Amino acid sequence: MRRTEGIRALFDIDPLPARRWCWPTFVVPGTGVEREIPSMPGQYNYSVDRLIPAVERVIRQGIGSVMVFGQADAPKDNGGSAAWCPHAPVQEAVRALKRAFPDLTVWTDVCLCAYTAHGHCAPLRPDGTPDNDAGCMALAKVALSHVEAGADGVAPSAMMDGQVRAIRSALDEAGFEERLLMAYSAKFASALYGPFRDAEGSAPVAVPGAPTDRRGYQASYANPDSAMLELVQDEAEGADILMVKPALFYLDMLRRAKERTLLPVAAYNVSGEYAMIHATARQGWGDLDDLARESLLALTRAGADLIISYWAPFYGRLFGKRR
Ligand code: PBG
Ligand code: ZN
């Protein structure tokens, strides 16, 4: 059954088609900025004007959607208020993308950590503990500012309890009941987010009384049932799409999620997963494209309905142009 290329190809599955991939992008204030992120080779911080041609190149690979992450262009504060400014980089990027590519599906990440002075995903109370419910109210404002700019869907990643319900009802009340909500449901407190936090400047900062990591709100990788509960709750709160993140260390969760829900399940192939493969290849310990292909096919095998990945711009090189 494996003797020739032709026989093998008869029974091989295909990678998830490009239209079901999403490219995460990082927008920064200013113009003319296209700065490579040192820990993420081939990924850049773009100002809005430079983002457009970059996305155009990615669309030419057949990639179906992008997710916009941004940095603050105003001072960071305890509540992350720069996140819902209607003219911050994310909101401007969404407007520019929808103007340039009306048929492109544009998602935004909804969180506060790139906008709070302490780097947490919610405001801190005076004693330094993250304030879950104040976080939900702020996230609803951020999501609303994103859909007002034209986002097709919002993806809340703060892992605050009740964030899906809070955002869904805020969007519905404002007349955006048809915009999508992709919930980062099983988002684990992972060591794989380091390169992303470099790109975003969003790592927790040492503050008296405040936690130095996100284990108080992100899921524990040692408690898979509680991560499943997050998925079930997000579905009940009105999510349209559920996500497992990271992806490669959590293929079991991806498969369990697929078995438990009829909603589409997204796999977020995070920055550390991308950086690890680049680092290995740079050491000469493996071939870059072979490693990437093997890892990405694992996500397809596990059942991902949507792959959010920094490899999206390289889809054609890795898999040929298929749809
Ligand atoms: C912000 C956020 C993070 C990622 C997506 N949204 C980082 C974090 O939780 O610290 C990680 C993405 C990646 O590593 O590629 N809440
Ligand atoms: Zn966050």
Structural domain span for residue 177 = 11-243
Q: Distance from CA of residue 283 to its chain's centroid?
A: 28
Give dist(CA 6, CA 233) in Å, integer. Answer: 46
Identify whether 125 is part of a domain. yes
Helix axes 89-100, 48-59, angle to 10 degrees: 40
**pLDDT number for residue 321:** 55
Give dist(CA 287, CA 221) in Å, integer. Answer: 29
Decide: residue 85, CB within 10 A, 0-12 exposed, 13-18 middle, 19+ buried: middle
Domain count along the chain: 1
Q: Which residues in the chain show pLDDT less than 70? A: 321-323
Q: Which of 141, 245, 258, 321 is catalytic?
A: 245
Query: How far, in Å, from the CA of 141 to the mean position of ligand 2?
Result: 15
Say which ligand is closest to the CA of 83: 2
**pLDDT number for residue 198:** 87
Measuring CA to CA, which residue among 128, 125, 130, 160 is closest to residue 142? 160
Strand partners, 15: none
Identify whether 143 is part of a domain. yes
**pLDDT number for residue 323:** 41
CB 46, CB 134: distance < 8 Å = no
Identify whether 296 is part of a domain. no
Identify whether 284 is part of a domain. no
CB 124, CB 151: distance < 8 Å = no
CB 312, CB 16: distance < 8 Å = no
Query: How far, in Å, from the CA of 104 to the mean position of ligand 2?
Result: 25
Query: How far, in Å, from the CA of 277 to the mean position of ligand 2?
Result: 24
Please identify every residue whose CB atom is under 5 Å from ligand 2, which is an ion: 111, 113, 121
Identify whether 40 is part of a domain. yes
Identify whether 86 is part of a domain. yes
Identify whether 114 is part of a domain. yes
Active site includes 98?
no
Whole-structure pTM value: 0.97
Give dist(CA 16, CA 299) in Å, integer. Answer: 9
* CB of residue 111 inside a 6 A radius of ligand 1: yes
CB 22, CB 308: distance < 8 Å = yes
Identify whether 234 is part of a domain. yes
Residue given tokens 């990643």 in the structure block: 157
User: Does a cis peptide bond (omega within 30 degrees of 0) precede residue 246?
Assistant: yes
In this structure, which residue's CA is closest to atom 11 in ligand 1?
193
Give dist(CA 304, CA 254) in Å, integer. Answer: 7
Give dist(CA 207, CA 114) in Å, integer. Answer: 16
The enclosing domain of 84 has a CATH number of 3.20.20.70
DSSP three-state, residue 242:
strand
**pLDDT number for residue 7:** 94
Active site includes 141?
no
Residue 113 Cα distances to 89, 152, 220, angstroms: 15, 22, 19
Q: Which two tokens stand for residue 30?
A: 């200013």
Positive/negative CA dihedral, 94, 95, 96, 97: positive
Name the E strands within the chain: 21-27, 34-36, 44-46, 65-70, 105-110, 153-156, 180-187, 241-245, 265-269, 306-309
